[in-house]
Amino acid sequence: MELSPLEKRFSLQGKTVVFTGAAGGIGSAIAEGLAEAGASVALCDISTGQLEQVRDRIIGAGGTASCHRLDVTDKEMISECMRQIHGQYGSLDVLVNCAGINKREGFADVAEETYDKIMDVNLKGVFLVSQAAAPYMKEQRSGSIINIGSHNTGSILGGCAVYGATKCGVLSLTRSMAVEWAKYNIRANCVSPGHIQTPLTTVTWEHPQRSKYLLDRIALNRPGYPEDIVGVCILLASDASAYITGTEIRVDGGCIAGGQPWPYDTAF
């Protein structure tokens, strides 16, 4: 069936998308959304059990997906994974760097080994995976890299010192990729979610003080959900964003903009 003009603009048919962190709440939602838009998705994560569930949901919905065990801190494993994916699908059109970890604790409480582990996964992982994927994109003279940032690139929460530092670094790496690889028609952008409710953050949203603190700072007065991230990723993966590169797009319900306003006079 022929696609409508709107569908053609945003369609991902014929594109191969590689995901890291695809087993997580946000990563799996993005992967399923891009598959619905027509992409063939290569799901990568260190947790293969959950990864297979994501793959099965995509295939069950009529999409194309495969599972690939990947440790984003292992350079040789990354190189082999990219080679296998390219060999299987014939192209590597979009990379979504979503793998990330965190441990909430005070700045002065962070052990060196914790610092190293978070840095290795969240920042070095983005560097290594992007470095491995870029030659395939260079060869085909096209590609889109979508790095998942965080609210912490613009406003730090207590207990997120190292995590916040990694996400600020991810934003900087994104800009470097955009500037250096534009000549190969490779675009790079950063999507920074706000306060998203996932299985890992349920404990925060169920906490009476922390949930109120967050809602007071979100203009839309609700948590974000993984599905809220999907649309902007479809945009950045598709040809509709052909002139967008090196930017950060916030999906935060108006949190950075100012959150809930204080009382003011209005006739509206």
Give the list of residues 6+ apart from residue 42 with CB closer than 8 angstroms, or none. Answer: 16, 17, 18, 19, 65, 66, 68, 85, 88, 89
Among residues 163, 184, 213, 243, the one annotated as catalytic is: 163
Nearest to 134 by CA among 80, 188, 200, 62: 188
Q: Is 192 within 8 Å of 164 (Cβ atoms)?
A: no
Task: Determine whether 163 is an active site residue.
Answer: yes
Q: Is 23 within 8 Å of 50 (Cβ atoms)?
A: yes
Helix/strand/coil (H/E/C) assignment for every residue in 68-104: EECCCCCHHHHHHHHHHHHHHHCCCCEEEECCCCCCC
Q: Which two tokens stand for residue 187?
A: 């675009």
Count CB atoms within 10 A of the CB of residue 50: 16
The DSSP string of 15-38 is -EEEEESTTSHHHHHHHHHHHHTT
Q: Which residues are catalytic?
A: 163
